[in-house]
Amino acid sequence: MEAALNKPPLLTGQYAFFFDFDGTLAKLKPHPSQVSLPDNVQYHLRKLADLSHGALALISGRSINELDKFTQPERYPLAGVHGAERRDINGQQFTLSLPANQMNAIRRKLQAALGDIDGVQIEEKPMAFALHYRHAPGSEPLVHNCAQAITAQYADLTLQQGKCVVEIKPGGVNKGEAVHQFMAEPPFSGRIPVFLGDDLTDEAGFDAVNQYHGVSIKVGQEATCARWRLEDVPAVWSWLSGQVAYFEQQRAITSRRADYESFGRSL
């Protein structure tokens, strides 16, 4: 049986922060379009990014385009579609694309198999498809079989399970790879990674962070390879504001100390 996981300790070093989006920063909603990020959460994210010299990224199944809308006017480093697209701190974007004729063929197949099923939603992304069945739980086997048939047909695609969703995404793409890519470059490199996530897609991120002896934090009660746990999204929000308060206090102490020292030298 899995050992009970504790709440993460107060982090007191130099960290690189990686956040999943849906179910971690933002509460789950019946439809993907109903999600939003409260103003105070955006404020704390901005503060944490500033206090960490920009070493904060979102790593999500959503596209970069969508993540930017949730966090505007900020333009954080981002990994979208589980890492199939990534934007670094300088705004340079790396995108893994699928041939247009392949996307078209898959769209047609999905429409034919699932388009008429009440409650099933086909969400198209730049190089992937998310098949939602939150409103048609009985259709899960059909949705799953359909996605599996498509990934069996294309060697460059793979399945990603999530909360009431099955996704068809490019193979070799996962959140762990995205963590490694960010950690190989400034301002992330040399820092201790912290990853917060709630879903199966986040396990690869936890595994990557564990390899750096970092801080992996599972949101929710499911089994995980993460080393710490927070109960739910509001617990993430209060953890975030607590970390910001601590880092701000540390910054104030450091700056007061620097003032005293410079005053002392001027005497």
Ligand X SMILES: O=P(O)(O)OC[C@H]1O[C@H](O[C@H]2O[C@H](CO)[C@@H](O)[C@H](O)[C@H]2O)[C@H](O)[C@@H](O)[C@@H]1O
The residue type found at 249 is Q
From residue 154 to residue 173, the character string flagging contacts with ligand X as x (rule: CB under 6 A) and all else as - is: --------xxxx-x------
Using DSSP's 3-state secondary structure scheme, residue 263 falls into helix
**Comparing C-alpha atoms, which of 235, 197, 203 is closest to residue 217?**
197
State which residue has the least CB distance to ligand X.
61
Nearer to ligand X, 88 or 167 (CB): 167
Q: By CB under 6 A, name the one of 7, 31, 75, 251 that touches ligand X.
A: 31
Nearer to ligand X, 97 or 254 (CB): 97
Direct distance between the N- and C-terminal alpha carbons of the chain, in angstroms, rounded to an integer: 64
d(CA 130, CA 167): 4
Q: Show contacts with ligand X in window 174-213 (CB under 6 A).
A: 199, 201
Q: Does 29 bind ligand X (CB under 6 A)?
A: yes
At its nearest, how many Å lie between ligand X and the CB of residue 233? 10
Q: Show contacts with ligand X in window 91-150 (CB under 6 A).
A: 123, 130, 132, 134
d(CA 142, CA 167): 13
Q: Does 77 bind ligand X (CB under 6 A)?
A: no
Nearer to ligand X, 171 or 190 (CB): 171
Task: State both tokens at 151.
Answer: 């990934």
At its nearest, how many Å lie between ligand X and the CB of residue 120? 11
At its nearest, how many Å lie between ligand X and the CB of residue 152? 21
Q: Is 112 exposed, middle or buried (0-12, 13-18, 19+ CB in 10 A)?
A: exposed
Q: How many residues bind ligand X (CB under 6 A)?
A: 24
Rg, the chain, Cα only: 20
**Comparing C-alpha atoms, which of 19, 83, 29, 93 is closest to residue 52?**
19
Is 20 noted as a catalytic residue in this protein? Answer: yes
Long-range pairs for 152-160: beta carbons < 8 A, 24 or more residues apart = 154/102, 154/106, 156/98, 157/98, 160/61, 160/82, 160/200, 160/201
At its nearest, how many Å lie between ligand X and the CB of residue 135? 9
Q: By CB under 6 A, name the one of 47, 55, 57, 60 that touches ligand X.
A: 60
Active-site entry in 20, 198, 199, 202 = 20
Where on the chain is the footprint of ligand X (CB under 6 A)? 20-23, 28-32, 35, 60-62, 123, 130, 132, 134, 162-165, 167, 199, 201
Active site (catalytic) residues: 20
